[in-house]
Amino acid sequence: MRQDIVRIGNERFVLAQGHSIDDVKAATVAAMRANGDLVNLVVFGNKEVSVLVSPGVPVIFTSELLDADEEDHRDTGDVENPFDTIADLEYI
């Protein structure tokens, strides 16, 4: 499985499976050209995030291949079925 990651400013977002990094790239470029706009992401945990992207904000796209034992089968990209990650639980 391929894991796609978008870093916007100092924040890191792991895209949910099935969500195209190419679509996020196109939306990000469009936001920059419009002098700023919201870019919607569906991230790991099946959660939606809207990020304000504007000129001067660094955006980095990376992809990496995961081994089969690193996959999380809950990560379907279905925002109707979100789940919490261990990192989320640390803040409770």
- Going from N- to C-terminal start, the domains of the chain cover 2-89
pTM for the whole structure: 0.76
Nearest Cα neighbor of 32 from 52, 2, 12 is 52
Under 8 Å between Cβ of 72 and 16: no
Distance of CA 4 to the CA centre of its chain: 7
Average per-residue pLDDT in the chain? 86
For position 86, what pLDDT does the model report?
Answer: 59
Tens digit of pLDDT for each residue in 2-33? Answer: 889 999 999 999 999 878 899 999 999 999 99
**What is the spatial distance between Cα 70 and Cα 55, in angstroms, rounded to a whole number?**
35
Higher per-residue pLDDT: 24 or 79? 24
**What are the beta bridge partners of residue 15?**
43
